[in-house]
Amino acid sequence: MEYAVGIDIGGTLIKTVACDRKGTVLYRDMFETRDMQPAEAETAKVSYWVDSMNMQIDKIRKKLHAEASCVGIAAPGVVDERGSSTASLPGKLKGIEGLVWSEVLKGHYPVEMLNDAHAFLLGESWIGCAEGKKNAAMITLGTGVGGAVMMDGKLVRGTIGRAGHIGHICIDPFGMKSICNAPGGLEWFIGDYSIGERTGGRYRSTRNLVEDYKRGKSFAASVWLYSVRALACGIVSVINLIDPEVVILGGGMTEAGEALFGPLSEMLDEFEWRPGGHTVRILKACLGEHGGAIGAARNVFDRLSGSRRK
């Protein structure tokens, strides 16, 4: 049996899958990311990642009674041109930056690295709700806000691999700087990481904020609808700049369901430019939490067959 392992390393959870070439998901799992302290030595951080990944790959091997053909890894940040490691990852997941996976994994598999949101979009275009779409954008809403862009059926990497960082488009020229220096970056307006700051310490999670919004609490509604308005503005910017067929929203925050998609749709009715009545579809991601891992698997299959993304 030929299969690829896909691993999606996030700040909270690490998701793993095994997929065959047709996109059948043979195995899926997830576990919590260990919260490493700044005081821990660099070597400790690196060996944590290496050991955890080796353990996961081994677990899948035992489960499927076969060796993996290749390993695809997804993580936040900018991936180097060869797809071998994360070249830049400001302020997150210490130890990942610069780690060349193919050199440290026990089995010496072919390994291909991809930005996590890029991987998610690739997964959605493989077996999810962007299947058959040539032009698409993805926005992941969680602790932070990630994104990806596909044009003419190909993931857009950009000049240095930075393309798709939708969380760092500017929504307010005098707003708080995002971790990538963007003033009023979209991520600040809706990412879970800033919820305390945005609510004067009143809320610790977007989930609680949305619950109070649903209960009709005005303060909560003012904050949440401002976040959704910022998201609508970000989507409008993406639409007017690259003109996708579809915008896919993924990440934990999409579990808010109608509390997110209802007001978002109403605001897009106000803000979206619709020449000839054309309306861009806004969809919730189909693949759920394992979308990034599935895309990471697809990405390494693409490399093996020589059709590397540019």
**8 Å CB contact between 244 and 272:** no
Binding-site member from 276, 305, 306, 307 for a copy of itself (CB under 8 A): 276
Based on the shown chain and the rule CB under 8 A, indicate whether residue 159 belongs to the binding site for a copy of itself.
yes
Separation of alpha carbons 183 and 161, rounded Å:
21
Based on the shown chain and the rule CB under 8 A, indicate whether residue 243 belongs to the binding site for a copy of itself.
yes
Residue with tokens 């934990």: 252
Based on the shown chain and the rule CB under 8 A, indicate whether residue 152 belongs to the binding site for a copy of itself.
yes
Based on the shown chain and the rule CB under 8 A, indicate whether residue 157 belongs to the binding site for a copy of itself.
yes
Based on the shown chain and the rule CB under 8 A, indicate whether residue 210 belongs to the binding site for a copy of itself.
no
Supply 263's token pair: 């007001």
Residue with tokens 């059948």: 24
The interface region with a copy of itself, picked from 3-11, 199-207, 211-219, 265-273 by CB under 8 A, is 265-273
111-115 and 70-75 as β-strands: parallel, antiparallel, unpaired? parallel
CB nearer a copy of itself, residue 32 or residue 152? 152
Based on the shown chain and the rule CB under 8 A, indicate whether residue 200 belongs to the binding site for a copy of itself.
no
Based on the shown chain and the rule CB under 8 A, indicate whether residue 242 belongs to the binding site for a copy of itself.
yes
Binding-site member from 10, 72, 123, 234 for a copy of itself (CB under 8 A): 234
Based on the shown chain and the rule CB under 8 A, indicate whether residue 11 belongs to the binding site for a copy of itself.
no
Based on the shown chain and the rule CB under 8 A, indicate whether residue 271 belongs to the binding site for a copy of itself.
yes
Query: HEC profile for the chain?
Result: CCCEEEEEECCCEEEEEEECCCCCEEEEEEEECCCCCCCCCHHHHHHHHHHHHHHHHHHHHHHHCCCCCEEEEEECCEECCCCCCEEECCCCCCCCECCCHHHHCCCCCCEEEEEHHHHHHHHHHHHCCCCCCCCEEEEEECCCEEEEEEECCEECCCCCCCCCCHHHCECCCCCCECCCCCECEHHHHHCHHHHHHHCCCCCCCHHHHHHHHHCCCHHHHHHHHHHHHHHHHHHHHHHHHHCCCEEEEECHHHHHCHHHHHHHHHHHHHHCCCHHHCCCEEEECCCHHHHHHHHHHHHHHHHHCCCCCC
Dihedral (Cα; 158, 162, 167, 173), 10-degree rounding:
-90
Based on the shown chain and the rule CB under 8 A, indicate whether residue 15 belongs to the binding site for a copy of itself.
no
Tell me how far, at minimum, the Cβ of 134 lies from a copy of itself, in Å: 8
CB nearer a copy of itself, residue 12 or residue 181? 181
Tell me how far, at minimum, the Cβ of 6 lies from a copy of itself, in Å: 24
CB nearer a copy of itself, residue 2 or residue 269? 269
Binding-site member from 168, 198, 290, 298 for a copy of itself (CB under 8 A): 168
- Count the residues of the shown chain that bind a copy of itself, applying the rule CB under 8 A: 56
CB nearer a copy of itself, residue 16 or residue 178? 178
Binding-site member from 211, 212, 245, 289 for a copy of itself (CB under 8 A): 245
The interface region with a copy of itself, picked from 6-14, 60-68, 272-280, 301-309 by CB under 8 A, is 272-280
Based on the shown chain and the rule CB under 8 A, indicate whether residue 283 belongs to the binding site for a copy of itself.
no
Separation of alpha carbons 269 and 279, rounded Å:
9
Binding-site member from 52, 69, 84, 237 for a copy of itself (CB under 8 A): 237
Tell me how far, at minimum, the Cβ of 22 lies from a copy of itself, in Å: 28
Contacting residues toward a copy of itself, per CB under 8 A? 78, 87-88, 135, 147, 149, 151-152, 156-166, 168-173, 177, 180-184, 226, 229-230, 232-234, 236-245, 270-273, 275-276, 278, 280, 310
